[in-house]
Structure 1
């Protein structure tokens, strides 16, 4: 049953300033890297409506042929990547000599900045590999910042057990059910929030999102409903919510539902993307391509 205290407090907030579902997207099957099969949740066309986020991929398979090719060396410039492993092992290597291994529950935060060349290769030949990669935009004045990489193992990522709710707090800070939930990472400029939230059957949760911030909910296991209208959001569905100061997420099913919540302050700057480069103008993209071809994009 829905917790009365949880439901009543959540509904009270939503009644006055809850967000509404503006758009829903069903993740589509595609491949990337060396034919790695994945789900592209969003990315590419019309990125401004997800600002400051640029892309979200879900990857996951129990068949090694779907992921074993990995992502051989490739360049990036102008944004950050966040990789969150639910299950599996992935090795990172880059031109700066960094080597890191992502295990179950670990997070990699990489600033491509002015340029990085890296690879992401599976370190397993069987078993399930599942996780997410997010591309987070950089302010124009920081697109040419020095590249860096951080590999954070699962036991360092804050976890919270609240009433009917489990939260793995990767980035940002928010108040949930009277508790301050603080992620491992604090993000400048965009104040990005990245939470992995599991709802027990019959529970509701009001997730605060500052007015004017982008708010995205991706259901990856089970099914939830959103807002006081109880709009259904099935597995592999992204919901973009607008207006108001919070998002009501409800689980009326008989199984645990798991969602990723992304929120952040839009940069409101031009977005020009060409493959692995995201800049503010076509001229900057052309320069990135020229630098890569000349071998100067990623200079230590």
Structure 2
């Protein structure tokens, strides 16, 4: 089976979004090797002032969000009347479809926050579908342990060593998968993924090596096609978020929180939002 290689290492850049929330961001709006993943944000701070403002009400259209928390708490409210709250280890998923307004705010007892938000592209045929929302608490996620390794499956089916692990969230576009993995120092693990899917590896602690190429914390590896990838943890071990999905291969036009296929569709989206046609 063909081994995947790292074709590019992308470094997260510090940014602020929402009401001044400090994040580390990797954007891939038009990056073929990341399709259907549009963006990865890591939120991590011990200081409440870095995230206290949260993400007040704002609109979306044409994409999905997935928020996965390692620590802290986030509450969600949207214009369809959905409300939910997740704590460390849980996930929230939303499909904006044709349009929704939502907010994501840290819970009042959250003093340290660590988590990730992913944007996943919707195919053109689904961009004007009905919005949807789902909470996935930590006790619904699937845990796996191997020798010197552990993983939490959030979405998709993963073949790790000699085991299959499937996350409970099946609603991600492009059959996208999300797996949170930890490897002890210098432990090696081989995983298999469909050859036609894109596979990304965002390291958020320690380092990892793939075919002699090293990836450090706050860096993401973009990989070539291939059926197999072997991860080798660095001397301090590694914690890595693995993301995969079938590329949509469609043009991307975006403006802030709106992701469509053409500039004309973005213009129409702005008119719809300004005229109050979002629910």
> Normalised by the shorter chain, which TM-score bucket?
over 0.9
Q: Cα distance, 1:126 vs. partner?
A: 5.4
Specify which structure has the higher proportion of helix: 1
Which aligned segments of 4 or more residues in structure 1 are displaced greater than 6 angstroms?
none
Residue by residue over 1:56-105, the C-alpha shift from the partner in whole angstroms, topping out at 9 and shown as x without a partner, is 00011011110001000000000100000110011101001111111111
Determine the structure 2 residue equivalent to 1:68: 52
1:37 to 7, 18, 22: 22
Distance 2:171 2:81 in 1: 25
Answer yes or no: is 1:150 the counterpart of 2:150: no
Distance 1:98 1:171 in 2: 21
Asked if the contact 2:196/2:225 (under 8 Å) is kept, the reply is yes
Q: Secondary structure at 1:134's aligned position in 2?
A: strand
Q: Cα distance, 1:47 vs. partner?
A: 3.2
Answer yes or no: is 1:296 the counterpart of 2:277: yes
Asked if the contact 1:82/1:110 (under 8 Å) is kept, the reply is yes
2:166 to 171, 182, 200: 182
Determine the structure 1 residue equivalent to 2:145: 161
Answer yes or no: is 1:50 the counterpart of 2:31: no
Pick the structure with greater CA Rg.
Answer: 1
2:254 to 247, 268, 273: 273
What is the TM-score with the length of structure 2 in the denominator?
Answer: 0.96
What is the TM-score with the length of structure 1 in the denominator?
Answer: 0.90
Asked if the contact 2:121/2:173 (under 8 Å) is kept, the reply is no
1:243 to 225, 230, 238: 225
Q: Secondary structure at 1:284's aligned position in 2?
A: helix
Q: Cα distance, 1:187 vs. partner?
A: 4.1
Residue by residue over 1:205-251, the C-alpha shift from the partner in whole angstroms, topping out at 9 and shown as x without a partner, is 1121211211100000111111xx32111111101011221221101
Asked if the contact 2:64/2:172 (under 8 Å) is kept, the reply is no
Specify which structure has the higher proportion of strand: 2
Asked if the contact 1:216/1:239 (under 8 Å) is kept, the reply is yes
Pick which of 139-148 and 199-208 moved more: 199-208
Distance 2:258 2:172 in 1: 21
Distance 1:208 1:180 in 2: 10
Asked if the contact 2:97/2:129 (under 8 Å) is kept, the reply is yes
Determine the structure 1 residue equivalent to 2:189: 205
Determine the structure 1 residue equivalent to 2:117: 133
Residue by residue over 1:176-223, the C-alpha shift from the partner in whole angstroms, topping out at 9 and shown as x without a partner, is 121111111124661211100111122111121211211100000111
Determine the structure 2 residue equivalent to 1:219: 203
Q: CA RMSD in A?
A: 1.4
2:104 to 120, 137, 140: 120
Determine the structure 2 residue equivalent to 1:8: none
